[in-house]
Amino acid sequence: MNLILFGPPAAGKGTQAKRLVTERGFIQLSTGDMLRAAVASGSELGNQVKSIMESGALVSDEIVIALIDEQLTANPDAPGFIYDGFPRTVGQAEALDQLLEKRGTKIHQVIRLVVDEDALLERVTKRFEEQGRKDDNPETFKTRLEKYNADTAPLIPIYAERGVLKEVDGMGSIEAVSTAIDGALGAAV
């Protein structure tokens, strides 16, 4: 099972991915988490991406595709993968198709969390106060939203045309969103 959790930054993808990991044993592949871990470890990759991430821009397709490739190879027997924050560009989506095809599989579902941008800004301001993530400050967050609308949102019609996209209201409580996602996943998993 390959499931993409899709939506703008702070839409709740990470929260839902972690729940599905606990409940269904899937592996969460969050490129944002992987990159933050690289920055925290002070590795060469971390130093390379630190300022890009802090500015709210996207790191190169090449870097994140390599991270995903590595994780797919490291977990050959996983019951499923949840892609969280990846793919974020058309190039990444094409590369993911190829990585999966090489392994005899494909994207089964894309669940899009539909959220209101003003409400997101409020949500992320709160997260900034609680967690202090530099790229959650309101100015940087606006850049991240712009990147989402310019580079990531074009994937929506692509997945819709393929018949794998389902939309879920992402503005409710965590419980309500969880129920909606489980409904969208249905008997598929």
Two tokens, residue 188: 């598929």
| Identity of the residue, 75 or 143, whose beta carbon is nearer to ligand AMP in the bound complex | 143
The residues that touch ligand AMP, with contacts defined as CB under 6 A, are 9, 31-32, 35, 52-53, 56-59, 64, 85-86, 88, 92, 135, 144
> Residue 98 or residue 179: which is nearer to ligand AMP going by CB?
98
Least Å from the CB of residue 169 to ligand AMP:
21
Minimum separation from the CB atom of position 83 to ligand AMP (A): 9
Nearer to ligand AMP, 132 or 163 (CB): 132
Closest CB 117 distance from ligand AMP, rounded Å: 15
**Cβ closest to ligand AMP, residue 77 vs residue 117:** 117
Where in the sequence numbering do the catalytic residues fall? 13, 88, 127, 133, 144
Angle between helices 44-55 and 61-74 (to 10 degrees): 130
Q: How far is the CB of 16 from ligand AMP (least distance, A)?
A: 13
CA angle 104, 74, 48 (to 5 degrees): 110
